[in-house]
Amino acid sequence: MDVTPNPPRGWRRFVLPCSLLLNLFLIAVIGGRLLYGRVERLDGASMLSRLTTRAEAVLPAGEAQAFKAVIERDAPRFAKTRHQLGAARAELVRQVVADPYDKKATGQALLAWKAAWDSFAADFSDTLVDALGQVSPEGRRKLIAGRFGKPAKE
């Protein structure tokens, strides 16, 4: 006599599929959020906004204002390369999401974005150094904390 147990019916047979679907949904949401954050970081404008927002959040008001004033003072000097960086970022994003995907065009857009980033960084570096000069040693430690690991003690 062959007696095979019947699989349990009811809520148990739905648990695994529901769990799998929920996990896939959460992976998509988290992955999308991480990618969105990465794309935003490709643009010099958003980088400057994050930088001044962070300064305002962690520095005393006077130091934050002095830091921001230096950046605003020099903004016309690096405005052209910041604009070029934004345009290169937009083209890179356009190529990445293009259908059909063009590997060669995406590679060229990535190289153009890198060149634009290098130009912007070269124009902005003196401004950043000057702005940091307006901040106390403790304030500079606060700005860098959590960004590049623990800063070395003086």
| Residue 115 maps to a domain | yes
- Give pLDDT, residue 7: 57
Q: Is the peptide bond before 100 cis (omega within 30 degrees of 0)?
A: yes
- Give pLDDT, residue 24: 77
Q: Are residues 47 and 108 in the same domain?
A: yes
Number of domains in the chain: 2
Radius of gyration in angstroms for the set of CA atoms belonging to the chain, rounded to a whole number: 25
| Residue 153 maps to a domain | no
- Give pLDDT, residue 40: 47
Nearby residues of 111 by Cβ (< 8 Å), 6 or more positions away: none
- Give pLDDT, residue 148: 56
Q: Which of 74, 72, 84, 68 is nearest to 120 (CA)?
A: 84
* Number of residues assigned to the chain: 154
Q: Are residues 87 and 116 in the same domain?
A: yes
Q: Are residues 71 and 140 in the same domain?
A: yes
Q: Which two tokens stand for residue 67?
A: 């830091």
Residue-by-residue pLDDT tens, the chain, 154 positions: 555 566 556 666 777 777 777 777 777 777 666 665 554 445 445 777 888 888 888 889 999 999 999 999 998 988 899 899 989 989 998 988 888 989 999 999 999 999 999 999 899 989 989 999 999 999 888 888 866 555 445 4
- Give pLDDT, residue 133: 92
- Give pLDDT, residue 13: 72
| Residue 1 maps to a domain | no
| Residue 31 maps to a domain | yes
| Residue 154 maps to a domain | no
| Residue 132 maps to a domain | yes
| Residue 104 maps to a domain | yes
Q: Are residues 64 and 127 in the same domain?
A: yes
| Residue 3 maps to a domain | no
- Which residue segment(s) compose the domain that 32 sits in? 8-37
